[in-house]
Amino acid sequence: MTTSEDRAEITAPPAEEELRVPRFGRGTPVVATVGIFAVSVLTWWLIGDPKWSVLGARAGTADDQARKSAIVSCLLFWTIFGHIFTGFTFGNWPFSKLRQPIAGICQVVANLVIGVAGTALFTSGVGHWDPTFSAAAPGGAGYLAAAFIVLIGFYAYAFASASLGGYPFESLTAPLASVAQWFAAAFVTVVGVVALVYPNFNAHLAASAPVGLPTTAGWVYSSIVIVIVAAMQWGNWPWGAVASKHLRALTALVVTLGGGYLLMLVLRALLQVIVPGTVKGGATFALDLETAELGVCFSLWSLIVGLVFGPSRLTSTVVARIVRTVVVAVAAIASYLVFMRFFATTALHFPATEGSYGGNPLLWMDWTILIVLWHSVAFGGYLTTRRAAGSHR
């Protein structure tokens, strides 16, 4: 994953390509953000909307709706996972060898293939001998279990590429270093899934799971938020300042996991204030799980500020980091409130919990995150830039 300070490395074209400049001047990030949300809504209506979907997510009964939602979630999470592989673990290799927009199109197709393949591997492959992941499980539980594998993977692969800076494979050349990093993150993912996810979904182990699923989701996703915010807004502070690479890696691990747990507690306290009391008292409401729903809003805006808006123009690094963090926090909380109080149920047709209140931010905000990543990383902002005057083709 690339930090906001490294944003120029994402958009800078290879020497043989044309020089491109923002299409709409200083207003380009705003135009791009509006466009990202517009594309997110339109594609949701086309693919994921429970009422309007043309391509399969339209639901009937409550069980059918839950199953379709789980399938969409699983495909989405694995597609984002695919982009983390191609865009960050492998640094856009080999797609960066192609010109835009062909490079972006090829990477998007590769991500979609990984999304479908990952979903099929667990629900139609592993699910044949382990009903935990079975595609036939009631309410799409098998798809949900396969999706939660990615939750652990999000942390492991984002941490490896964004927080560790290539450690401990700095001496290897690309793409061998990326392959080594992929397997190291895969090992962490397997450990996390076996310890935290699988026991919660397996019928024989659920009662004795070491950490409940809501707490697992809240803690892991809050840790993901720390990883993303640190990379996008803080320049990987505080561990980035540690001289020893071994101690730096250990500090990063402690700060992201420990800080993630503390952030979960902060988000819990905030949710106690902003969620209606009648909703909190509902049988399906899980406060720890809801911290992940709020946390994904932080991830979305951190990526928008870091990747779409790019480096801060403020001269003071400390002030810039504080301002950008505050902007992310305010935008995230506002987005959560707007989404849950009316937008999700009225515009995106999520089922309501009470009145017009309801929604699944982990699904739709991640949907939007995928659009952000494709726009900013896979395409390098191609559609919001133009060829500079005098630039050669």
* Residue-range domain boundaries for the chain: 4-18+35-379
> How far, in Å, CA of 58 to CA of 55, rounded?
8
CA 288/CA 72 separation, integer angstroms: 23
> What is the mean predicted confidence (pLDDT) over 260-266?
98
Evaluate the omega torsion of the peptide bond into residue 238 and state whether it is cis, within 30 degrees of 0. yes
**Distance of alpha carbon 316 from the chain centroid:** 29
One-letter amino acid at 3 equals: T
Q: Between 296 and 20, where is the model more confident?
A: 296
Arithmetic mean of pLDDT, 303-318: 94
Q: In the numeric block, which tokens belong to residue 324?
A: 């950008």
pLDDT of residue 393: 52
Q: Do 147 and 77 form a contact (C-beta atoms < 8 A)?
A: yes
Quick one: pLDDT at residue 260?
Answer: 98
3-state secondary structure of 140: helix
The pLDDT of residue 55 is: 66
Structure tokens at 75: 């495909």
Res 4: pLDDT: 43
pLDDT at residue number 391 = 59
User: pLDDT grade, residue 256 (50/70/90)?
Assistant: very high
Using pLDDT thresholds of 50, 70 and 90, give the confidence band for residue 64. confident
- Give the pLDDT of residue 181: 96
**Mean pLDDT confidence for 179-183:** 96
- Identify the sign of the CA torsion 113, 119, 124, 125: positive
Residue 283: the pLDDT is 86
pLDDT tens-digit series, residues 79-106: 999 999 999 999 999 999 999 999 999 9
Q: Which pLDDT belongs to residue 61?
A: 72
Sign of CA dihedral 46, 50, 52, 55: positive
Residues 24 and 31: beta-carbon distance below 8 Å: yes
- Say if residue 56's pLDDT is above 80: no
pLDDT single digits (tens) 118-154: 999 999 999 999 999 999 998 899 999 999 999 999 9
The neighbour count for residue 136, using CB atoms within 10 Å, is 13
> CA triplet 362, 366, 367: central angle to 5 degrees?
120
3-state secondary structure of 325: helix
Q: Contact at 8 Å (CB) between 73 and 143?
A: yes
Does residue 348 have a pLDDT over 80? yes
State the number of CA atoms in the 13 A half-sphere of 271 facing the CB.
24
Strand, coil or helix: 186: helix
Question: Which DSSP string corresponds to 39-106?
Answer: HHHHHIIIII-TTT-SSS----SHHHHHHHHHHHHHHHHHHHHHHIIIIIISTTTTGGGSPTTHHHHH
Q: Which of 365, 320, 369 is nearest to 339 (CA)?
A: 365
Q: Quick one: pLDDT at residue 17?
A: 56
Whether pLDDT at 3 is above 60: no
pLDDT of the residue at 228:
98
| Mean pLDDT to the nearest integer, 156-183 | 93
The share of the chain scoring above pLDDT 70, in percent, equals 93
First CA to last CA distance, the chain? 29
Cite the beta strand spans of the chain per DSSP E.
20-22, 385-387
Question: H/E/C letters for each residue in 244-291?
Answer: CHHHHHHHHHHHHHHHHHHHHHHHHHHHHHHCCHHHHCCCCCCHHHHH
Counted residue by residue, the chain has a size of 393
Report the C-alpha gap between 369 and 359 in whole angstroms: 17
Report the SS3 class of residue 312.
Answer: coil
Confidence of residue 214 (pLDDT cuts 50, 70, 90): very high
For range 368-390, the mean pLDDT: 91
The C-alpha atoms of residue 126 and residue 69 are separated, in whole angstroms, by: 21
Report residue 247 as tokens: 């101690």
